[in-house]
Structure 1
């Protein structure tokens, strides 16, 4: 049986982004984002009710401050007491998992969308996604960019403006472009 382009996307395989089913999902998410982003002055309870309509999972007490932008929403799973500040962009063609108690600063960008290296495949509209995982109680500084396929461990700290191109171990502090684990970058245990 032939799988749909959406099924290929969800499996992390090459898929055609111009597929009508995928385009329809983008339109649905666009309409949802308009409603969500129009709630800027509302309460966290109102935000949470709307998040539950579109995101894959939303933990107790989680907050995403509008404006917020994503591709689909259903590939995003955020844990309990996660705080995501203004202007976050999550390109979620693959799974994005954010662990309990994580804080994400303003204007952070999380990308799972990737493109083939072959220009003919790109010209044909083919794309793929690689999941991003952020552990529990991590702290992502404002303006950081997290690239496809990255895992950030529990209790890790990412400096503001950093570009995270590879995995960051649990308890580490990473910063810069590209982000590097700071020498002695383990956080003291409290």
Structure 2
């Protein structure tokens, strides 16, 4: 893109919209191409490259790029680049959010980040996974479950949130992988939802063993 050129969100045609609906369905699917599907992803990656290359001394351009790249970019969103996303358009930010260096968004599924959330360096939010069955992985099958981060959450450095992860602000119903109770406000831990308390977790276990709808 040329510096100063107006930025528009990439267009989504009907075939691409139908394929993305399958991505968001929560079912196992095969990410085969349809006309324009990966063209949209390529256009999003171009926006990502420009965002990561735009200096902090040009905040207006950075804001324009974030608004075009993400599904929603609330007022006051501040990202320490580089930031990486599979799509970008499937990630939705609230207001006054902050993310430190090397945020990775595996957003083949949707990722929702509440207002006033702070994210430490080297955090990965993963909305997409692959079945444990090798025959399904051999076909390239995958599934997506939305990630929900509530308002006023602090995610410390090096945290990985898996598909279906849901944190409701300050309620603290996540636990450390070691089994100790805690809250993501503690620095440098790896967290996952408490087993059995989340509908998304039960869905995820079902999907890991499911057969893909496309043979």
TM-score normalised to structure 1 length: 0.79
Cα distance in 2, alignment partners of residues 124 and 152 from structure 1: 32
Counterpart among 119, 126, 133 of residue 104 in structure 1: 119
Residue 15 in 1 paired to residue 42 in 2?
A: no
Answer 1 or 2: which has greater strand percent: 1
Give the structure 1 partner of residue 54 of structure 2. 39
Give the structure 2 partner of residue 163 of structure 1. 190
Residue 132 in 1 paired to residue 133 in 2?
A: no
Structure 1 stretches of 4+ moved >6 Å = none
Offset at residue 64 of structure 1 (A):
1.6
Alignment of 1:34-183 (within 5 A): 34-155=49-170, 157-158=183-184, 159-166=186-193
Bigger-Rg structure (1/2)? 2
Q: 11-20 vs 124-133, which deviates more?
A: 11-20
Cα distance in 2, alignment partners of residues 161 and 17 from structure 1: 33
Checking the alignment, whether the CA contact within 8 Å between 2:103 and 2:122 is kept in structure 1 is yes
Q: Which runs of 5+ in 2 are unaligned?
A: 1-14, 173-182, 196-215
Cα distance in 1, alignment partners of residues 43 and 187 from structure 2: 32
Q: Which runs of 5+ in 1 are unaligned?
A: 169-190
Q: 7-16 vs 86-95, which deviates more?
A: 7-16
**Structure 1 residues 99-145: Cα deviation after superposition (integer angstroms, max 9, x where no partner):** 11011111111101111222111111111111111110010111111
Q: How many residues in Structure 1 have an aligned counterpart in Structure 2? A: 167
Offset at residue 13 of structure 1 (A):
2.3
TM-score normalised to structure 2 length: 0.71
Offset at residue 69 of structure 1 (A):
0.2
Q: 158-167 vs 125-134, which deviates more?
A: 158-167
Checking the alignment, whether the CA contact within 8 Å between 2:24 and 2:145 is kept in structure 1 is no
Cα distance in 1, alignment partners of residues 18 and 72 from structure 2: 24
**Structure 1 residues 34 and 139: CA distance shift in structure 2, 3 A:** same
